[in-house]
Amino acid sequence: MKPTHRDLLVLFALAGWAAALPHYASEFVVSMALTCLMYATLSSSWGLFCGSTRYLSLATSAFFGIGAYTSALALEQMPWLAAIGLGAAIAAAVAVVMGAAVLHLRGTYFAVLTFGMTELIRHAITYWEKQVTGTVGRVLMVVPERDTIYLTLLGLAVLAVLTSIAVRRSRFGLAMAGIGADEQRAQTLGVNTRLVKIAGFALIAAFAGAVGAAMSVRWTYIDPHTVFNPFIGFQTVLIALIGGAATLWGPLIAAVVFSVLAETLRLQAPQIYMMSLGLLLILCVLYLPGGLASLRAQTLRQWGDDIRGGWRNLFSRKAKEAL
């Protein structure tokens, strides 16, 4: 079976199982599944652009928040799916503007800038809300059914993975991978790097905006601090990196693992959760830069050799000193 067919089959099997979940699982499990789906979408789409082009974007929270605010403000006037679509569209538009301004900068500059812009947007909206509208947050009174929200998120997650599968096989995906490998060479080979980068950036923004739009109703109350929380962006990046940003299933698996951890630990022992997240990230970057998905038997064997070599060195040095 071709790899694509296999991937599609797995995807639909999972989707089917997930769709049935709300009917037999408890409230808590469904809420956990919701978080899983959210991060699965966010990190899959993030990995799609940032994993291949190696441009680390920390702007996920900005797009998420934009989507959330859009749907909070728009839900009174328009139907559910339209609000989601609007959220995605506005987020993508902002991404195009942001991208055009900053995508010519390399690596660290880009990451730091996206972070700065996220914070700028957050503080701008906070200030606007406080001084102009005179409010701190917004209460959502019109809230759709829990199952609607769940199915929407499931749909978005499936769409994200499908897009991932499709893009990887397309010229667009190859162009992005080329940019990641060696941008200058890609340019000389005729790739319009600027356009590709902006398009990719807008794509992940659209997904983040859609997810934000859908999740805002979960909270019944949103304020800039909650929906523009930089931690959403950090966690997305962490999950994608630990899972293996350039792979298809890596982010998904990592998203499930971390969402479970997050939901179980967050209310009781959030510090332990965050510390383990930080530690895991450090260990991953140091020892497993390709992420968990790149873990192979060979890697484990290599680690075994490294550890044994380390011990030998230690003892031989001690032996030399003793003499």
Partner 1 sequence: MSEHRHPHPTRRAIVQAAVATPAALAFPSLLRAQAAPVRIGYTMARTGPWTTGAQVSQEPNYLLWAEQQNAAGGLNVKGSKRTIELISSDDRSDIETCVRTYEKLMGSDKVDLVLPPWGSNANFAVAPLANRFGYPFLAPTALSRRLVEMKLPYFFLLLQQPKPMMDALVAMLKENGAKSVAVIYVDDLFGLENYAALKVALAGSGMSIVEDKSYPLGVKDLSPVLRSMKDKNPDAFIGLTYPPDTILASRQSKEIGFNPKYFYASVGTAFQLYRNVMKEGAEGVLGMGSWNSKTSPSAKAYFDAHVKKFGAAKEPDRWASGATWAGLEILTAAVAKAGLDRKAIRDYVAGTEHNTIIGKIKFSGSENVGTPGTVAQWQKGEFEVVWPKANATATLVAKPNWV
Partner 2 sequence: MSLGSWLELIASGLITGGVYALVALGLNLQYGLMRILNIAHGEFLMVGAFITYTAHVTLGINPLLMVPISFLLLMGLGLVVHRLVFRRLTRTSPTLDIFEARGLMVSFGLMFLVQNFAQTLWGGDLRGYDFMADPVAIGGAQFSANKILLLVLALTISAALIVVLNKTLYGKGVRALMQSPTGAQLMGIDTERLHPLMFGVGLGLSGVAGCLLSMTYTISPSMGEPYTVTALIVITLGGFGSMAGALAGGLALGVIEAIGMHFTNPSLKSLLSYGIFIGVLLWRPNGLFVRK
| From candidates 132, 141, 322, 323, binder to partner 1 by CB under 8 A | 141
Structure tokens at 215: 């999740």
Interatomic CA distance for residues 77 and 83, integer angstroms: 9
Cβ-in-10-Å burial (0-12, 13-18, 19+) of 298 comes to: exposed
Q: Which is nearer to partner 2, 123 or 194 (CB)?
A: 123
314 binds, among partner 2, partner 1, none (CB under 5 to 8 A by kind): none
| From candidates 91, 277, 288, 293, binder to partner 2 by CB under 8 A | 277
Q: Which is nearer to partner 2, 166 or 272 (CB)?
A: 272
221 bridge partner residues:
139
**Interaction between residue 323 and partner 2 (CB under 8 A):** no
What is the smallest separation between the CB atom of 10 and partner 2, expressed in angstroms? 29
**Interaction between residue 113 and partner 2 (CB under 8 A):** yes
Show the binding pattern over residues 131-160: x = contacts partner 2 (CB under 8 A), - = does not.
Answer: x-----------------------------
112 binds, among partner 2, partner 1, none (CB under 5 to 8 A by kind): partner 2
Cβ-in-10-Å burial (0-12, 13-18, 19+) of 167 comes to: buried
Interatomic CA distance for residues 120 and 303, integer angstroms: 43
Interatomic CA distance for residues 150 and 34, integer angstroms: 6
Q: Which residues contact 204 (CB under 8 A, 6 or more apart)?
A: 45, 46, 48, 49, 50, 57, 60, 63, 95
Q: What is the DSSP letter of 105?
A: S
Cβ-in-10-Å burial (0-12, 13-18, 19+) of 223 comes to: middle
**Interaction between residue 281 and partner 2 (CB under 8 A):** yes
| From candidates 10, 21, 30, 117, binder to partner 2 by CB under 8 A | 117
Q: Which residues contact 71 (CB under 8 A, 6 or more apart)?
A: 83, 84, 86, 87, 212, 213, 214, 216, 217
Show the binding pattern over residues 237-276: x = contacts partner 1 (CB under 8 A), - = does not.
Answer: -----------------------------xxx-x------
Structure tokens at 140: 């959502």
Q: Which is nearer to partner 1, 32 or 199 (CB)?
A: 32
Residues within the interface to partner 2 (CB under 8 A): 54, 56, 101-102, 105-109, 111-113, 116-117, 119-120, 123-124, 127, 130-131, 234, 237-238, 241, 270-272, 274-275, 277-282, 285-286, 289
Residues within the interface to partner 1 (CB under 8 A): 26-28, 130-131, 134-137, 139-141, 219-221, 223, 225-226, 266-268, 270
